């Protein structure tokens, strides 16, 4: 679509010849996301309303207790350090961003008074700035007012490298955040920015109070008492937290939505496993909600027959994948294992990586493990569909893997294990303790054995594997083994933040307390340069092509091996009415949850 056609269609919306919905659908067809299509209309002075979050109760409270199961137990309550989804979810009880994403990928104001647009003066025509107006009358749980000073502080806090915030990727490309008045801030970008709705939006946009964290910016960030005892603006106030076990809260009586929340108390119970969580919601009805039911589809169907709840599936960009370590986890350099100064002794051979990719039976994993809750894929970036590459395919072939390894000089010894230059093909393959993942590991191990590769399986308790504890060597961000498998979530209906996890500046290292999002520590100059182009490309078709290229660059190097595009599967007790977006945390709109019967 050329510029003339685009202007004509925008003009048709203004005159009523074309509806807003029809315009968005046409833009999606040429590679635009729904939020970006809405932003284009907003730039042209056309207001775009997000979906109203459904909510029937007429007053706050009276709903009794809300019981939630996160079998991957939360370990801290600071959203800027939440490396795992379970920590992000727990933070959403207490902390809020300026805006979140609805099911259609539109922005919904939370702490913002409105979504910036050209019509309301929020968006600059040149893409270099955005003005957010804050909702008046919002209070922190300790009664102090929420103001623009808090917003500015969060940018300073996250953007300080010594803070080692996992959210830094959402803020580092904001040149400045200026306070205009107590309820208005202006974000200034160093270049035209098509995806401006990153900083202060959704999970990594949750805002912490300046008056409690101001003395803990930078190197002292981990010492803040509020890291474990949050004081936010959210619907629930902190009551108790036992890391790796429970989080408890009670209704905030001065919440900025007078009729919310409906429930009087909330408890997150952590630990256990996905099957027991599914049983406690679907079969016994002991809990109202069960997080991330990574359970074989056959088991979920049987548990649903208990009649107490149902499984809800939501389309996402989430990907279950296997990462190969670029670095050597068994060598220490300057006090750091898996240092960027090392190379993996086996995976540095590209033929070994090619062979392992052929030994992943994705179709069987989908059919026999994930069923309706997953789709086998060769791509890391799968949704929205317009960003999905058509250039890749997957294949399972033990025969071809053997041929590749033979040709590369990896010969089988007396034990049946291949070796070359005195180095045996032996790997440690880790993941979290979870039924489907252990079965997935076993499938891969069996195939590898038939190709002369010895795989040692390691399973780590989920609360440890996904812990944000920088001193814990068994977390997935330390990656002190050869291979590992887990799911990474796509928290936005736009791939910009999602794909920054393979940029060189996001490598997880000792220097950034292993908070970088690039866990495999894969680096590629072409990837970095292409990503920077995508950040400032205003043409939606060209921008989509850049993200497809990014996907292809990373998956074709075979350090990152996508497996299953996972739907978000949760357990919901009968009678519960909850609004859930596949592009934001499950608990993003927990203030609007209620029980209909």
pLDDT digits over 254-283, tens only?
999 999 999 999 999 998 888 999 999 999
Question: Residue 47: which pLDDT band, with cuts at 50, 70 and 90?
Answer: very low
d(CA 216, CA 457): 40
d(CA 147, CA 131): 14
pTM over 0.75: no
Instruction: Assess whether pLDDT exceeds 50 at residue 81.
Output: yes
For CA atoms 376, 379, 380, 384, the dihedral sign is: negative
**Mean pLDDT rounded to a whole number for the chain:** 91
pLDDT value at position 1? 56
Asked which of 19-28, 382-391, 558-567 is least confident by mean pLDDT, the reply is 19-28
Other Cβ atoms less than 10 A from the Cβ of 236: the count is 27
pLDDT value at position 323? 98
pLDDT value at position 506? 96
Give the three-class secondary structure for 61.
coil
pLDDT value at position 89? 95
pLDDT value at position 45? 46
pLDDT value at position 53? 81
Instruction: Assess whether pLDDT exceeds 90 at residue 125.
Output: no
Instruction: Assess whether pLDDT exceeds 60 at residue 28.
Output: no
Helix locations, 191-337, DSSP H: 210-213, 274-278, 297-304
pLDDT digits over 450-460, tens only?
999 999 999 99
d(CA 401, CA 49): 52
d(CA 205, CA 212): 18
Question: Residue 385: which pLDDT band, with cuts at 50, 70 and 90?
Answer: confident
d(CA 187, CA 178): 7
pLDDT value at position 474? 95
Instruction: Assess whether pLDDT exceeds 50 at residue 241.
Output: yes
pLDDT value at position 582? 78
The pLDDT of 161-186, averaged and rounded, is 94
By C-alpha distance, which of 570, 31, 87 is closest to 6? 31
pLDDT value at position 25? 54
pLDDT value at position 473? 94
Instruction: Assess whether pLDDT exceeds 90 at residue 462.
Output: no
The pLDDT of 3-20, averaged and rounded, is 61
Domains and CATH numbers, the chain: 3-43 (no CATH), 319-566 (3.10.105.10)
Backbone angles phi, psi at 499, to 5 degrees: -90, 0
pLDDT digits over 475-522, tens only?
999 999 999 999 998 888 889 989 999 999 999 999 999 989 999 999
Backbone angles phi, psi at 549, to 5 degrees: -65, -40
Q: In b/e form, how buried is each residue of 264-290, taking b as 16+ CB within 10 angstroms?
A: ebbbbbbbbbbbebbbbbbbeeebbbb
**Which residues are bridge partners to 569 per DSSP?**
313
Asked which of 20-24, 75-79, 337-341 is least confident by mean pLDDT, the reply is 20-24
pLDDT value at position 217? 95
By C-alpha distance, which of 18, 81, 66 is closest to 46? 18
Asked which of 48-62, 149-163, 465-479 is least confident by mean pLDDT, the reply is 48-62
Select the more confidently predicted residue: 372 or 35.
372
Question: Residue 7: which pLDDT band, with cuts at 50, 70 and 90?
Answer: low
pLDDT value at position 30? 55
Helix locations, 172-296, DSSP H: 210-213, 274-278
d(CA 504, CA 525): 8
The pLDDT of 80-96, averaged and rounded, is 93
d(CA 221, CA 165): 9
pLDDT value at position 467? 86
The pLDDT of 233-255, averaged and rounded, is 97
The pLDDT of 175-194, averaged and rounded, is 96
Give the three-class secondary structure for 379.
coil
pLDDT-above-90 percentage for the chain: 76
> Long-range pairs for 26-29 at CB < 8 Å and ≥24 separation?
27/540, 28/384, 28/386, 29/386
The pLDDT of 189-195, averaged and rounded, is 91
The pLDDT of 444-450, averaged and rounded, is 98
Verify cis geometry, omega within 30 degrees of 0, for the bond prior to 374: no
pLDDT value at position 103? 78
- Enter the DSSP assignment of 144: P
pLDDT value at position 538? 78
- CB-count exposure of residue 211 (10 Å: 0-12, 13-18, 19+): middle
Which residues 6+ apart lie within 8 Å of 303 measured at CB?
278, 279, 282, 283
Question: Residue 43: which pLDDT band, with cuts at 50, 70 and 90?
Answer: very low
Backbone angles phi, psi at 195, to 5 degrees: -105, 85
Q: Which of 19-23, 64-68, 114-118, 293-297 has the highest mean pLDDT?
A: 64-68
């Amino acid at each position: 679509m050329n510029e003339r056609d685009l202007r004509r269609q925008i003009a048709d919306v203004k005159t009523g010849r074309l509806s807003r919905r029809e315009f968005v659908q046409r833009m999606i067809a040429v590679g635009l996301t729904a939020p970006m299509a809405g932003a284009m209309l907003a730039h042209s002075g056309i207001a775009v309303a997000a979906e109203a979050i459904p909510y029937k109760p007429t007053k706050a409270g009276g709903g009794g207790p809300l019981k939630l199961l996160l079998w991957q137990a939360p370990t801290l309550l600071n959203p800027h350090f939440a490396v795992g989804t379970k920590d992000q979810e727990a933070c959403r009880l207490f902390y809020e961003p300026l805006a979140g994403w609805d099911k259609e990928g539109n922005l919904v104001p939370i702490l913002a008074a409105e979504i910036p647009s050209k019509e309301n003066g929020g968006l600059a025509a040149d893409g270099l700035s955005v003005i957010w107006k804050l909702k008046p009358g919002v209070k922190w749980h300790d009664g102090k007012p929420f103001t623009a000073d808090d917003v500015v502080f969060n940018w300073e806090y996250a953007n300080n490298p010594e803070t080692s915030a996992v959210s830094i990727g959402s803020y580092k490309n904001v040149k400045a955040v200026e306070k205009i008045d107590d309820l208005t801030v202006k974000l200034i970008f160093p270049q035209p920015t098509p995806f401006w709705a990153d900083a202060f939006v959704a999970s990594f946009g949750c805002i912490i109070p300046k008056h409690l964290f101001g003395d803990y910016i930078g190197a002292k960030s981990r010492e803040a008492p509020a890291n474990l005892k949050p004081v936010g603006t959210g619907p629930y106030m902190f009551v108790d937290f036992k890391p790796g076990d429970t989080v408890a809260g009670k209704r905030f009586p001065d919440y900025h939505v007078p009729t919310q929340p409906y429930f009087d108390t909330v408890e997150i119970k952590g630990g256990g496993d996905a099957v027991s969580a599914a049983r406690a919601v679907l079969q016994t009805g002991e809990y109202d909600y069960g997080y991330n039911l990574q359970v074989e589809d056959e088991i979920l169907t049987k548990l649903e027959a208990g009649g107490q709840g149902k499984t809800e599936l939501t389309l996402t960009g989430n990907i279950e994948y296997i990462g190969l370590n670029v670095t050597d986890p068994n060598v220490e350099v300057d006090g750091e294992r898996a240092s960027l100064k090392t190379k993996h002794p086996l995976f540095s051979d590209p033929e070994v990586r090619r062979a392992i990719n052929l030994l992943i039976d994705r179709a069987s994993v989908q059919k026999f493990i994930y069923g309706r809750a997953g789709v086998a894929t060769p791509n890391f970036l799968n949704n929205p569909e317009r960003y999905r590459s058509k250039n890749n395919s997957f294949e399972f072939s033990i025969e071809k893997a053997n041929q590749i390894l033979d040709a590369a000089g990896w010969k089988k010894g007396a034990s049946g294990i291949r070796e070359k230059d005195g180095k045996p093909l032996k790997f440690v393959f880790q993941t979290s303790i979870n039924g489907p993942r252990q079965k997935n590991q076993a499938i891969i191990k069996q195939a590898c054995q038939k190709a002369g590769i010895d795989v040692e399986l390691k399973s780590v308790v989920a609360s440890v594997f996904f812990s944000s504890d920088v001193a814990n060597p068994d977390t997935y961000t330390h990656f002190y083994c050869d291979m590992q498998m887990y799911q990474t979530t796509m928290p936005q209906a736009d791939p910009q933040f999602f794909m920054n996890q393979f940029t060189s500046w996001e490598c997880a290292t000792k220097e950034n307390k292993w908070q970088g999002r690039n866990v495999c520590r894969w680096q590629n100059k072409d990837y970095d340069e292409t990503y920077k182009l995508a950040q400032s490309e205003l043409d939606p078709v060209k921008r989509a092509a850049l993200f497809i290229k990014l996907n292809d660059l990373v998956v074709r190097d075979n350090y990152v091996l996508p497996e299953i595009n996972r739907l978000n599967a949760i357990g919901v007790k009968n009678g519960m009415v909850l609004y859930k977006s596949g592009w934001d945390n499950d608990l993003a709109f927990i203030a609007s949850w209620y029980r209909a019967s």
